[in-house]
């Protein structure tokens, strides 16, 4: 359990909150690059960390993420005209460039220089991989650009999706750290999902449903190891890295692409679940890419034309009791992503952690919360740079490996847990 | 081709499900969260926190200021008279001796803390006896350097293991577990 004070501290990310200030230290995913496909394409409304913004790509291909509302009388610039190097408010014609600087107020003489005095909040938007990243904090403290492997490999090796999740970011992220739910909630999908089935390591999961957990502190976050019995007294390890504030990677299976997530607050009661799949050394096959588009693995299907999952709380996630009875799904909800999301949303918009009863297998979550609390408090107290900003912290991989019984898994897999360009993932 | 070729069927949306007050759409709102039943849903847990070595004992001293009525803080006594292969002499905070067998009776969880491999003998006995008594064990290793020998000592005797250079995880873990 957490006290109400710590629960509030970790879950609130709107401007001026301690956790909000911490999120504003990082480059975070803002939108898919495909949402702004061409110069002068339609502007997109974006809400992040409780701030309503609009993203656009101007005539010269410059990306901008600016305050959604016109400084004149507060009209949404989503209705604007994106043309001739800026976004023009359709009400009285005020125009803004990609930084939010007003560059035209038609009612005033250009020589008056009035428009120079008008500036909307603007954040940078940088394309790396399939994602447009933003940094919503102090410009003077802008960290180096993100170097996560999934978004720096060639584009034919990677696929990213995002979905709207209707709950606080922290309870969604905790699902990525909570390896102990996999043997239950996702037990049906291991056998059938095209992006999981067939790996040699799957037999260890099926033979030993009671993994033992070890959690090891790392400079950027944690390594969470789940071990199961393998042949000859050895252990089969599945190792999940968590990098602060909200990056996790699922341990790989066979030669399937590796996957993971980012959980980014939209506001305190909604978040974006970003899901990626990539292979460090080969292109994704057409079949794999199609499976991802079709919503298998960590991805999902959508209400057409939106980023809202097709299975959502308005249709009870298309609960299928027959499939649950047949054992095809454990909870009756289809697909790994929505199995997680449905349960996490059922906890309520912000779960009351004063009431939970954690057990010792929840230690990954306990440690992660404590690291977040410490980092936020150090930031507030002394401005300490939080873990996960240093590019070295971002160069992590998940691992699946069979190791001798007494090997400490982080030391034994030190290289395997690190990004090595041109070297395949360590997997069973 | 695969270990199981059952086709993975994606759901077919149906639009005949009415939204009721208890449907997810309504039930997951902050408004409805107000109606969660309020009551204590777990009996207090009784935990034993055992410092296996001198470094661990110092960490324990740092956190006992907070009241934790259901926890017994124990240290492995420096002298271990040869009573039985299943017995460890422990010291309570007030300095009184207590036997492992006495302390394990009525315990829900044992948290073992180690900063070195100094407490190997005690760890082995506590782990073995706790397992036989079906008492959950958790281990916390606090050390800044490579902990191979401590991991080797703790892994066989604990159900879950945490390795960190920071002592403050102890207090966080105990509070989180309601210990
Ligand atoms: S069993 Fe974990 S939330 Fe219910
Ligand atoms: Fe999950």
Q: Directed axis angle between helix B169-176 and helix B54-63, to 10°?
A: 60
The span from the CA of B11 to the CA of B9, in Å, is 6
Provide the shortest C-alpha distance from residue A360 to chain B (in Å): 6
Contact B136 A411 (CB under 8 A): no
Provide, as residue numbers in chain A, all residues whose Cβ is less than 8 Å from the Cβ of B120: none
CA gap B165, B147 in Å, rounded: 10
Query: What are the percentages of helix, strand and coil residues in chain B, rounded to 5?
Result: 30, 20, 50
CA angle A320, A321, A324 (to 5 degrees): 95
pLDDT tens digits along B34-57: 899 999 999 989 999 999 999 999
**Chain A residue numbers touching B165 (CB-CB < 8 A):** 217
Of B4, B11, B148, the CB nearest to A191: B4
Q: Is B30 on the interface with A (CB under 8 A)?
A: yes
Separation of alpha carbons A215 and A242, rounded Å: 11
Residue A185: nearest ligand to its CA? 2
Does B1 have pLDDT greater than 70? no
Using alpha carbons only, what angle is made at residue B44 by residues B41 and B49, rounded to the nearest 5 degrees? 140
Interface residue B166 vs chain A (CB under 8 A): yes
What tokens were used for A393? 């912290």
ipTM: 0.91
Cβ contact, residue pair A202, B3, below 8 Å = yes
Q: What is the pLDDT of residues B71-83, one digit of tens each?
A: 999 999 999 998 8
pLDDT tens sequence for chain A (428 residues) = 999 999 999 999 999 999 999 999 999 999 999 999 999 999 999 999 999 999 999 999 999 999 999 999 999 999 999 999 999 999 999 999 999 999 999 999 989 999 999 999 999 999 999 999 999 999 999 999 999 999 999 999 999 999 999 999 999 999 999 988 988 899 887 777 888 888 888 889 888 888 999 999 999 999 999 999 999 999 999 999 999 999 999 999 999 999 999 999 999 999 999 999 999 999 999 999 999 999 999 999 999 999 999 999 999 999 999 999 998 999 999 999 999 999 999 999 999 999 999 998 999 999 999 999 999 999 999 999 999 999 999 999 999 999 999 999 999 999 999 999 999 999 99
- Rounded distance from Cα A165 to ligand 2 centre (Å): 14
- Considering only CA atoms, which of A4, A73, A18, A5 is closest in space to residue A49? A18
Q: How far does B122 lie from chain A, in Å, by closest CA?
A: 19
Is B25 close to A313, i.e. CB distance below 8 A? yes
The whole-model pTM stands at 0.95
Report the residue from B30, B146, B164 with minimal CB separation from A411. Answer: B146
């Amino acid at each position: 359990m957490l006290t109400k004070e710590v629960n509030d501290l970790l879950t609130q990310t709107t401007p001026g909150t301690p956790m909000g200030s911490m999120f504003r230290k990082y480059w975070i995913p803002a939108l898919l690059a495909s949402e702004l496909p061409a110069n002068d394409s339609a502007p997109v409304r974006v809400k992040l960390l409780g701030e309503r913004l609009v993203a656009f790509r101007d005539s010269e291909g410059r990306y901008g993420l600016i305050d959604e509302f016109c400084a004149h009388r507060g009209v949404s610039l989503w209705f604007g005209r994106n043309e001739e190097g800026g976004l023009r408010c359709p009400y009285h014609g005020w125009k803004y460039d990609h930084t939010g600087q007003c560059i035209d107020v038609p009612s005033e003489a250009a020589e008056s220089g009035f428009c120079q005095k008008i500036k909307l909040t603007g954040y940078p938007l940088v394309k790396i991989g399939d994602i447009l990243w933003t940094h919503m904090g102090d410009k003077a403290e802008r960290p180096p650009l993100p170097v996560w492997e999934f978004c720096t490999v060639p584009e034919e090796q990677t696929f990213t999706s995002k979905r709207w999740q209707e709950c606080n970011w922290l309870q969604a992220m905790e699902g990525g750290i909570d390896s102990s739910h996999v043997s239950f909630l996702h037990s049906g999908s291991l056998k059938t999902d095209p992006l999981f089935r067939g790996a040699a390591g799957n037999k260890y999961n099926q033979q030993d449903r009671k993994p033992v957990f070890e959690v090891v502190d790392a400079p950027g976050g944690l390594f969470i190891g789940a071990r199961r019995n393998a042949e000859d007294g050895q252990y089969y390890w599945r190792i999940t890295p968590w990098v602060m504030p909200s990056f996790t990677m699922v341990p790989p299976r066979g030669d399937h692409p590796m996957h993971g997530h980012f959980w980014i607050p939209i506001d305190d009661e909604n978040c974006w679940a970003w899901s990626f799949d990539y292979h460090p050394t080969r292109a994704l096959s057409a079949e794999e890419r199609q499976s991802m588009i079709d919503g298998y693995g960590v991805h999902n299907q959508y209400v057409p034309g939106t980023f809202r999952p097709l299975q959502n709380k308005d249709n009870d996630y298309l609960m299928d009791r027959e499939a649950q009875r047949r054992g095809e799904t454990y909870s009756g909800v289809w697909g790994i992503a929505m199995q997680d999301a449905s349960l996490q949303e059922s906890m309520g918009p912000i779960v009351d952690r004063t009431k939970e009863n954690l057990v010792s297998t929840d230690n990954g979550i306990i440690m992660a919360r404590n690291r977040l609390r410490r980092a936020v408090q150090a930031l507030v107290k002394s401005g300490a740079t939080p873990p996960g900003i240093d590019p070295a912290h971002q160069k992590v991989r998940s691992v699946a490996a069979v190791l001798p019984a007494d090997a400490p898994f982080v030391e034994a897999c030190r290289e395997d847990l690190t990004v090595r360009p041109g070297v395949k993932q360590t997997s069973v | 081709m695969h270990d199981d070729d059952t086709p993975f069927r994606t759901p077919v949306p149906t639009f005949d499900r009415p939204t009721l007050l208890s449907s997810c759409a309504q039930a997951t709102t902050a408004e409805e969260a107000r109606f969660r039943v309020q009551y204590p849903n777990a009996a207090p847990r009784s935990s034993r926190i055992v410092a296996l070595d001198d470094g661990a004992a110092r960490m324990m001293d740092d956190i006992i200021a907070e009241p934790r009525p259901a926890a017994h803080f124990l240290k492995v006594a420096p002298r271990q008279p040869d009573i039985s292969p299943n017995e460890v002499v422990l010291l309570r905070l007030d300095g009184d001796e207590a036997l492992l067998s006495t302390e394990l009776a009525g315990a829900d969880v044992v948290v073992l803390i180690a900063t070195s491999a100094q407490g190997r003998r005690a760890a082995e006995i506590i782990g073995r006896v706790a397992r036989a008594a079906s008492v959950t064990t958790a281990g916390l290793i606090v050390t800044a350097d490579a902990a191979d020998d401590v991991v080797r000592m703790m892994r066989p005797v604990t159900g879950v293991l945490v390795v960190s250079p920071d002592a403050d995880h102890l207090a966080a873990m105990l509070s989180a577990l309601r210990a």
